[in-house]
Amino acid sequence: MFESIPEKCSAADLRGEFASHVNGSKRPHPNPDPNPDPNPDPAFPVVPYPPPFPRGKLPLHPKEPRVDTPAPRTSLPPERLRTLEEALEVRFENTELLLRALVHSSAKDATLPCNERMEFLGDSVLGLLVSEHLYHLFPDFPEGDLSSIKSVVVSATSLSACAKTLNLADYVILGKGILQKKAIPDSVLANALEATIAAIYMDQGLEASRVFVLRILRPRIEEVLKDQHAKNWKSLLQQHTQKELACVPGYRVVGESGPDHEKSFEVVVEVAGKTYGPGGGKTKKDAEQAAARVAFEAIQAKAAEAGKAAGTIEGSHS
């Protein structure tokens, strides 16, 4: 076993030679045997480490069901892009822009960049067009009310709803991670719509982008406006008085009751020298809203009576 070891060697050499023989390493010996044994000692078999893994995939755990994930889409055929153009009511000069707007970051590769940069641009274009539209549509609204309406109109919830109306989910290019989910997240759809707006802007210009944005968002603006009006009586009253009476309402607290942790307030509102109210609430803001509602409904009722009276007088003269 140790014939090839020199007569004079150290203990370290012996340990190294023994380990070399047991482990089957290829460490060269200082005095190699010119006639190595072709049949090594079977008592010391050479075992490779680590052991090789079996070829093929390892079996799933018995408790893990196999999930067949659809293969990620890497592009869209021309006929699919044309179908999407019809849904958008936009005919692209460069359909590559539309394709890039649909690529989620989970599906990007060296030849297919994702839509994040276009989403950034589309967000700005969308904000500009909605702000411009609200500015001209509501000339009497203060900045706070305009910002409030805009924030709802361009929210992820609103944009994802528009994306679903356009069936954008059928065209978005996603990676395996997103495809494994039961439904595409609303944020992904909202971002894809913003990127699509950028694609329209880059391909067709600002006017085409305006037409598209207002077509898909005008119903949403009307919904938000109705909701705002239903809740914000102060805003309604101010718009009416500024337009019809050329004045601004003034609010005054006329009553306070209850302990500090459970106070109640009473507020009246003065419009063109007349006082309406009081309105009550747990906070001053709630009380002001209540007073504004009393005033607005009273002014509207008076205007309706005046209209009827004018109609009666005209009828009698005729």
Task: Give the whole-angstrom CA distance, residue 290 versus residue 177.
Answer: 51
Catalytic residue among 17, 119, 145, 194: 194
Token code pair at residue 214: 């207002």
DSSP for 8-49, please give it.
S--HHHHHHHHHHHHHT--PPPSS--SS--SS--TTS----S
194 belongs to the catalytic site: yes
Q: What is the CA radius of gyration of the chain?
A: 39
Task: Give the whole-angstrom CA distance, residue 187 versus residue 202.
Answer: 23
Q: Which long-range contacts (CB under 8 A, 24 or more apart) does 21-25 make?
A: none
What is the number of residues in the chain?
318
Give me the half-sphere count of Cα atoms (radius 13 Å) on the Cβ side of residue 230: 6
207 belongs to the catalytic site: no
Q: Beta partners for 135?
A: none
Query: How would you class 109 by CB atoms within 10 Å of its CB: exposed for 0-12, middle for 13-18, buried for 19 or more?
Result: exposed
**Identity of residue 8:** K
From residue 211, give the alpha-carbon distance in Å to each of 202, 208, 214, 276: 14, 5, 5, 44
Catalytic residue among 119, 123, 145, 203: 123
What DSSP designation does 245 have?
I
Which are the catalytic amino acids? 123, 194
